[in-house]
Structure 1
Amino acid sequence: MAAQHTTDSSTTDLSLTRTAQRKAFSLLPPSLGLKLLVLVSGAVLMGLEIVGSRILAPYFGNSVFVWGSLISLFLIALSVGYYIGGGLSDRYPSRALLNTILLAVAALMFLIVIIGQPVCDAILRAKFGEKSGPFLAGAILFLLPSIGMGMVSPFAIRLATSTVASVGKTAGTLYALSTLGSILGTMLTTFVLIPNFGAGAILKGLAGALAIVAIATFQFGSGGAAIRGSAVILAAVAAGIFGLGDLRAASLPPGSELVREINTPYHHISVIDNKLDSQRELKFDRFTESAIELSPPHRTKSLYTNYFNLAFLPQPKIRRALFIGAGGGVGPKAFHEHDPTMEIDVVDIDQAVLDVARMDFYMPEGENIRAIAADGRTFVRNSPDGHYDAIFLDAFTIGGRIPFHLVTREFFQLCRQKLAPGGVLVMNVNSAVRGENARIFESMYTTLGEAFPQVHAFALYHQLGLRDQSTNVMLVAVNSDQKLSPEDWLAKAVAYESPSHIGNAEVRRMVNDLLTTLPPMKQATLFTDDYAPIETMSF
């Protein structure tokens, strides 16, 4: 009898809730409105998680730590939201309260547009690490709105259940709609919104969509206090829609002019003319990838790219060259100046980067220079064996990290297969060459040594004694068993000639950056396709 009494009481409570809902007025039928609310909140939640990576990337990179932080935070938020939403819906089973919560979530998402940059800047200045930094920033920016959206499913189940006997079916239907919304939000944000809009515009769009659905499904007359609270929140949302500017990775410094700005699935690209320094910069978010002089002949200001010409010392007759990672196209441009008949393939995963290299950084066009939008490793795998005399690897993601599949022993073995006898692979890495921040250099040197018979390292500013500070380190792997001594490098530099702007004196200076004494590398990590933890290494 006690069990029967409990069931009857629960059924009565549910019936009273539904009676109150029928007395309220909404623009959509209550059942349809609730389902639409669940669908859209699921879509917005996943959209927020994905665009969150674009908000954090300019400050903390796009590493596994950023994604691990985001995924963890959103799972924490969902857990908390489920718990709070379940308890709150039992005490106050009100559609007006649910819609008010989602209007508050929309207002919080608009707030991210305002506080995103200063929050991330402050965390960077406080010197939080690359592991704790993105987690803290993500918690401040995304935790509260995500908890609010996590409350939707248990709240909706409580409101939609007419009898205890139908709880299972109701819960299954609403969770299916929430998951479907998450799938749609993921695909829409990834394939449509990010390639075409900035992070600020996407945030405003997601928040606006959530606010519109919350208003359209609001049950007016179901709670005066809730309606008054919703009106205040709605005013804040409206102010966000019409009053806030876009979230930008960084404001332009004085004396700078924005030439071009493009959003792609891989980068937020900006081309900036810095009048004070008389240079044009290519930026991926806030990181400068390439720079050239504003005045003709537009020589590179990214001096490390001049070190690509070291490849002409062990292999003076380069007929076919492959550049993986276009940047501003300054390397291919210099090689074309050296020999206009040279066949040069320039491969970058982002077509927009190739377009910008040609439009804004004067990378030559012609039948001997091919610009190919493709993944570097996939392109190398499909190339003929022994086809290239030189391969240049200068591919970085946001934050200065090399994609892990381009740093493994298996990839370097593949590159060696594509090189002709005596061919050269030149790789740029950011690292110190001794001390705690030398792990990337040590691992890359060791891994290349597993694939090539000889590897040589040139550290920029090595002559100045800056070995324990991060710099550009050029690793030159030669597909030849004939070892090159420091004296051989110097002799080849003396004989070097080029019609390009990188002359003999410059190459001889660069040869002096050869590391003739290397630190012990017994603890260096060998990178393989199975294990290549480059993202966990500082530089």
Structure 2
Amino acid sequence: MSNRFLRVIVFSAGFASLGVELAASRLLAPFFGASLLIWANLIGVILIYLSVGYWLGGKWADRDPRAQTLLLILAGAGLAVGVLPFVAAPLLALAIPALAQFNAELGLVSFLGVVVLFAVPVTLLGCVPPFALRLAARDVKTVGATGGGLYALSTIGSILGVYLTVFWLIPTIGTRLTFMVFALVLLGVALAGFLLARRALPALILAAFVFFTAGFALVQRGASVKPLPNVIYETESPYNFIQVVDENHLRLLTVNEGQAYQSVYYPNAILLGGYWDLFLTTPFLTDAAPPRSLLVVGLAAGTVSKQFAQVFPAIQIDGIEIDPAIVRVGRELFAMNEPNLNVWIDDGRAALHKTDKRYDVIVVDAYRQPYIPFHLATVEYYQELRAHLTERGVVAINAARTPHDARLVEALASTLKQVFPTVLLLDYPNDTNTLILAAQNEIALSDYQARLAQIQTEPLASVAAIARANVRVFDGDGMLLTDDKSAVENLIHSIIFDATLLAGENK
């Protein structure tokens, strides 16, 4: 086998290895999310498998230094990559009831089972560079240059795999077909190697596998990644796995692991019977007059913006949403077409750096429950929010809790308290959501309740009554979150773990 073709093999293996890792994150995200913990585990096990592959490949090459063996390794990796998302499907299906029921054992089995499935393809891909080096190194005097060149090609292939996966493959054809593309590349290179070596039988077998893989990919195109009842739309973006559910004309938007609904839409309805309704009462914390301006950080498909536009028709609304695919879903499936709504496609913090506008109300609902982008929950971020408030301005933040654990709410409220003199908590009854309200002036709880009591017109009067009965002053002492030190994900993991233990004790 020529050194030129060895370079093609090494390049293709590098291309697939990082591409498979990124595709693996999207395979897991609809079920387990995309938190730092998931990424750490995924990157860690991939590195372990590659390390084993490097060691095994070197040993294997010394014992059986034949080009045919290297081609079989590459073909085996291709087959394993191709079947991986489909073999993983039953294990991933276990995660849905596990997460819904706080079943840690079942959820852990599901996650570890899927991660273990990556052992075969990634380890085999790790075998390729040392094996290729053993075949290419014909003179000990140039082995350093030969090895450096091969590993450089492998790295360049990995770079291409990263960018092609993130910016084209996953957004265009989805996660499962992305795995199939990598499988076809590896099988195709192995097939070409056998044809060049004039090995008819292996070439014929591989050609059959290539044909089968390509055909199976075409058949599976459009199949649901995470089947749920009543799903009417499903897509993947560089940021999220997105699903829309329709239950008797009630539209629900869910992303990634789907443990919460990011948006709700019911035609001709203003109040939706959830925590979103309570946001409508937040302007009255500081003033009885209708608000003139609203900023929504985490617009999603426009539930909050639509409610404000319906109740306060003269209000001007800016909405920040990082994922353009979600904005498109909002416009096409959630009637997010209010004339007074201006949408910014941007990060919820970076966008603030680009404007000096001030708002009567800032709603922050960018938290993909149960996880929170840490940079949207720190003292420094809350200082930036305060700088964008009018004199009467109010910040309202949605936070999740369990029936027995409000540590996340307390951490966010304590962090807000470092910036705002008034911090109130507003629970939605029989729910696990709390709104945290903050004002830049001292506001008495009784004054807020009095303004709510004066609201007599529907639909605002009914939700004002709920808010008046469930609002309280925050007087706790939770964890302080800063840009330099934010343990918010560890806190959330602890809450989930404790909830799991409590659920197990109550069975």
Shift in CA distance, 517/345, structure 1 to aligned 2, threshold 3 Å: closer
Shift in CA distance, 31/346, structure 1 to aligned 2, threshold 3 Å: same
Task: Identify the match of residue 112 of structure 1 among 81, 84, 108.
Answer: 84
Shift in CA distance, 316/330, structure 1 to aligned 2, threshold 3 Å: farther
2:362 touches 2:395 (CA, 8 Å); kept in 1? yes
The one-character-per-residue Cα deviations of 1:375-427 (angstroms, maximum 9, x if unpaired) are 11112233226x11110000034x53221110000000111111112210000
Task: Identify the match of residue 453 of structure 2 among 483, 488, 494.
Answer: 494
1:456 aligns with 2:424: yes
Alignment of 1:2-13 (within 5 A): none
Task: Identify the match of residue 534 of structure 1 among 488, 491, 503.
Answer: 488
2:320 touches 2:347 (CA, 8 Å); kept in 1? yes
Match of 2:502 in 1: none
AA partner of residue 99 (structure 1): L
Distance 1:129 1:379 in 2: 41
Quote the offset at 1:511 in angstroms.
2.4
Quote the offset at 1:234 in angstroms.
5.4
Distance 1:45 1:302 in 2: 47
2:330 touches 2:336 (CA, 8 Å); kept in 1? yes
1:51 aligns with 2:23: yes
2:262 touches 2:300 (CA, 8 Å); kept in 1? yes
Match of 2:465 in 1: 508
Match of 1:203 in 2: 179
Quote the offset at 1:154 in angstroms.
0.3
- Cα RMSD between the aligned structures? 2.5
Match of 1:304 in 2: 275
Match of 2:396 in 1: 426
1:416 aligns with 2:386: yes
Shift in CA distance, 374/108, structure 1 to aligned 2, threshold 3 Å: same
Match of 2:438 in 1: 477
Instruction: Give identity over the alignment, percent.
Output: 31
Match of 1:262 in 2: 235
Task: Identify the match of residue 328 of structure 2 among 355, 358, 375.
Answer: 355
Please give the TM-score of this superposition, normalised by the length of structure 1.
0.83
Task: Identify the match of residue 391 of structure 1 among 337, 352, 362.
Answer: 362
Task: Identify the match of residue 264 of structure 2 among 291, 300, 323.
Answer: 291
Query: Bigger shift: 241-250 or 150-159?
Result: 241-250
Match of 2:94 in 1: 122
AA partner of residue 319 (structure 2): V
Quote the offset at 1:449 in angstroms.
0.6
2:427 touches 2:434 (CA, 8 Å); kept in 1? yes
Match of 1:373 in 2: 345
AA partner of residue 495 (structure 1): Q
Match of 2:413 in 1: 445
Quote the offset at 1:217 in angstroms.
2.2
| SS, match of residue 371 in structure 2 | coil
Quote the offset at 1:157 in angstroms.
0.3
Quote the offset at 1:516 in angstroms.
5.4
Query: What residue ranges of structure 1 are gaps of 5+ in the alignment?
Result: 1-20, 22-29
AA partner of residue 471 (structure 2): L
Shift in CA distance, 134/526, structure 1 to aligned 2, threshold 3 Å: farther
Match of 1:14 in 2: none
Distance 2:118 2:272 in 1: 39
The one-character-per-residue Cα deviations of 1:28-74 (angstroms, maximum 9, x if unpaired) are xx222111111111011110011111111111111011110111111
Match of 2:292 in 1: 319
Match of 1:333 in 2: 306
Distance 2:320 2:199 in 1: 61
Quote the offset at 1:301 in angstroms.
4.0
Task: Identify the match of residue 86 of structure 1 among 30, 36, 58.
Answer: 58
1:493 touches 1:507 (CA, 8 Å); kept in 2? yes
Distance 2:33 2:231 in 1: 25
Distance 1:154 1:134 in 2: 33
AA partner of residue 313 (structure 1): F
Shift in CA distance, 262/99, structure 1 to aligned 2, threshold 3 Å: same
| SS, match of residue 458 in structure 1 | strand
1:151 aligns with 2:127: yes
Shift in CA distance, 416/184, structure 1 to aligned 2, threshold 3 Å: same
AA partner of residue 452 (structure 1): F
Shift in CA distance, 102/298, structure 1 to aligned 2, threshold 3 Å: farther
Alignment of 1:163-202 (within 5 A): 163-202=139-178
Shift in CA distance, 473/480, structure 1 to aligned 2, threshold 3 Å: same
AA partner of residue 143 (structure 1): A
1:56 touches 1:134 (CA, 8 Å); kept in 2? no
Quote the offset at 1:123 in angstroms.
5.2
Match of 1:272 in 2: 245
2:321 touches 2:345 (CA, 8 Å); kept in 1? yes
Residues matched between the structures, number: 482
The one-character-per-residue Cα deviations of 1:489-514 (angstroms, maximum 9, x if unpaired) are 3321111255xx63202221232122
Say which one has the larger Rg: 1
Shift in CA distance, 513/533, structure 1 to aligned 2, threshold 3 Å: same
Distance 1:203 1:308 in 2: 42
Shift in CA distance, 186/369, structure 1 to aligned 2, threshold 3 Å: same
Match of 2:371 in 1: 401
Distance 1:302 1:90 in 2: 68
Distance 1:217 1:206 in 2: 17
Quote the offset at 1:237 in angstroms.
4.8
The one-character-per-residue Cα deviations of 1:66-105 (angstroms, maximum 9, x if unpaired) are 1101111111011100111001111111111111111111
2:94 touches 2:110 (CA, 8 Å); kept in 1? no
Distance 2:277 2:435 in 1: 10
| SS, match of residue 418 in structure 2 | helix
Quote the offset at 1:176 in angstroms.
0.6
- Return structure 1 stretches of 4+ with deviation > 3 angstroms: 123-135, 219-224, 230-238, 246-249, 298-302, 515-518
AA partner of residue 381 (structure 1): H
AA partner of residue 453 (structure 2): V
Shift in CA distance, 450/237, structure 1 to aligned 2, threshold 3 Å: same
Match of 1:32 in 2: 4
1:95 touches 1:218 (CA, 8 Å); kept in 2? no
Shift in CA distance, 299/231, structure 1 to aligned 2, threshold 3 Å: farther
Quote the offset at 1:236 in angstroms.
4.3
2:420 touches 2:440 (CA, 8 Å); kept in 1? yes
1:358 touches 1:364 (CA, 8 Å); kept in 2? yes
Match of 1:10 in 2: none
Match of 1:342 in 2: 315
Please give the TM-score of this superposition, normalised by the length of structure 2.
0.88
Quote the offset at 1:140 in angstroms.
2.0
1:320 touches 1:344 (CA, 8 Å); kept in 2? yes
